[in-house]
Amino acid sequence: MITPQTRTQIKGYLEGFIQGMIDQYRESPLKPNELRPLRKYSKEGNIRPFHEALLPEGILRINEFERSLSTKLGDTFEECARLLGRNYFVRVERNYKVTGEISRAVIRSIERFCNEINTSGLGRSYLDLIQEVVSINSDDLISRTRRADLYLMDKDGNETYFEIKSPKPNKGQCVEVADRLLHIHAMREAGPPRVKTYYAMAYNPYGVDKEDYKYSFALRYLDMTNQVLLGKEFWDFIGGTGSYEEILSIYQEVGQEKGSDMLDQLALNY
């Protein structure tokens, strides 16, 4: 269950996030029904001459707002997870830095695993990779640093590290996450249950049930059973059963309350 205080905090954060995005896109010298002057140069590389020739400023502004929102929405997942997790874990941090010494033998093993994943997909259990990494002993140590999007520690000192990424990753993202998470296990010198690492997806684009998930790159390059927490699994892991539905209801509540205002400010420039 999400406490009333946490619900208020999450809702306030989302309202501020949305208004900040609106403020970024509402500032324009053009009226909503005017066409943008055709440009010959853009430092940002954002000229779309045929769109701008057909669509008035109000529609373009909404389109650009939605695209930018989609890009930045991952930040809201991290912050909402942090706010939710504070009720259930003794330590919760975003962008958590892990530094430690690991052997060159471990580094070579991780590189080999990642090359195998890149070439042929993940052909064995992610738990087996973790066990192999933490079981290598060597004195030839060098320093390594990795960051996790979200870090949790429970009352017993058990740690969980998340990379919160797209639910439709490309191959490179899958390999990069494997490298980062295996390095964390090596630096912490432990696997589950003391140290757990996950590729987290905040939602399932194919439905609610994990069995509905069909994205081919993830199915080939990730261990969906042991490495991935998908949608409801992720939110319920952090806040308990029902947290996914409650988090989504807060997003809906903000959308219902801010929807008309978004249209007024973006499309009508009020």
User: Residue 126 — very low, low, confident or very high, per pLDDT cuts 50/70/90?
Assistant: very high
Q: What is the mean pLDDT of residues 17-28?
A: 84
Of 264 and 113, more confident: 113
User: pLDDT value at position 93?
Assistant: 98
- What's the whole-number mean pLDDT along residues 195-221? 96
CATH class of domain segment(s) 89-239: alpha beta
Q: What DSSP string runs through the chain?
A: ---HHHHHHHHHHHHHHHHHHHHHHH--SS-TTSPPPP-S--TT----HHHHHHS-HHHHHHHHHHHHHHHHHHHHHHHHHHHHHTTT-SEEEEEEEEEEEEEHHHHHHHHHHHHHHHHH---S-HHHHHHHHHH---S-EEEEEEEEEEEEE-TTS-EEEEEE--SS--HHHHHHHHHHHHHHHHHHT--TTTEEEEEEES--TT-SSGGG---HHHHHHS-TTTTEEETHHHHHHHH-TTHHHHHHHHHHHHHHHHHHHHHHHHTS--
**Locate tokens 């409650």: which residue?**
246
> Can you give the pTM of this predicted structure?
0.91
CA geometry: angle 159, 162, 166, nearest 5 deg: 170
Q: Percent of the chain scored above 70 by pLDDT?
A: 99
* pLDDT score, position 260: 83
Residues of the chain with CATH 3.40.1560: 89-239
Confidence of residue 266 (pLDDT cuts 50, 70, 90): confident
Half-sphere exposure of 235 (CA within 13 A, CB side): 21
Which of 129-138, 151-160, 253-262: highest mean pLDDT?
151-160
Residue 167: what pLDDT? 96
Categorize the per-residue pLDDT at 26 as very low, low, confident or very high, splitting at 50, 70 and 90.
confident
